[in-house]
Amino acid sequence: MNVTTPHTPTTVRTFAQQLSSTRRGARLARLLAVAEFRAWEVPPSVAERAEHIVAELAANATLHGRVQGRDFRLELRSEPATGLLRIAVTDARGDRFPSLSTDFTTLPDAESESGRGLLLVTALADRWGTEPYPPSGKTVWAEVFPRLSSGTPDDRSA
């Protein structure tokens, strides 16, 4: 007798959009991401953190990753079974990879209007990193998991 084990369908939701490397494109990236998070019913605590991450990565792509006439790409991926939400922003500047300095004496002063974006991403994301996007670009990605009441990631997939 053959018995089949019931399987929970694994649904992975994805979204991808090319956007102009302008302030308007960065703002649209954030607005589109918020709309997707709502449609996917992402928990509010995850969606709020992810919205800020999208805003920072899109702003960095338009400010530091901009090449005249080239767009940037926003990609979102939601895995409801694990709670993972992945954000990836690809720009055309593969020669400029971001890095977060661990030398906190070089942080921007309180009066500076920039220089804190990756600090925010580090604080809000559970993981983030960069990878080359051949032939000449890079992708900066961040992952967000639901948090337990203790504030630690609920990483059931690990």
Q: For position 141, what pLDDT does the model report?
A: 97
Mean pLDDT along residues 67-88: 92
Check: CB of residue 72 under 8 Å from CB of residue 91. yes
| Domain membership flag for residue 8 | no
Residues 6+ apart with CB under 8 A from 104: none
| Domain membership flag for residue 7 | no
Quote the mean pLDDT of the chain. Answer: 83
Q: Cα Rg for the chain, rounded, in angstroms?
A: 17
Q: CA quadruple 84, 90, 95, 101: dihedral positive or negative? A: negative
**Count of domains in the chain?**
1
Edge-to-edge order in the sheet of strand 13-19: 13-19, 72-79, 84-91, 137-144, 127-133
Instruction: Give the SS3 label for residue 82.
Output: coil
| Domain membership flag for residue 135 | yes
Q: For position 157, what pLDDT does the model report?
A: 45
| Domain membership flag for residue 20 | yes
Indicate the pLDDT class of residue 95, thresholds 50, 70 and 90. Answer: confident
Q: What angle do CA 63, 64, 66 make, to 5 degrees?
A: 75
| Domain membership flag for residue 157 | no
Q: Which residue segment(s) compose the domain that 106 sits in?
A: 13-144
Indicate the pLDDT class of residue 156, thresholds 50, 70 and 90. Answer: very low
Residue 127's domain is classified under what CATH number?
A: 3.30.565.10
CA distance 78 to 87: 9
Kindly report, residue by residue over 99-153, the tens digit of the pLDDT. 655 444 555 555 544 556 788 999 999 999 999 998 889 999 999 999 765 555 5
Q: For position 100, what pLDDT does the model report?
A: 58
**pTM of the prediction?**
0.79
**Tokens 């302008």 belong to residue:** 22
| Domain membership flag for residue 99 | yes
Residues 6+ apart with CB under 8 A from 89: 29, 54, 57, 58, 60, 61, 72, 73, 74, 75, 139, 140, 141
| Domain membership flag for residue 47 | yes
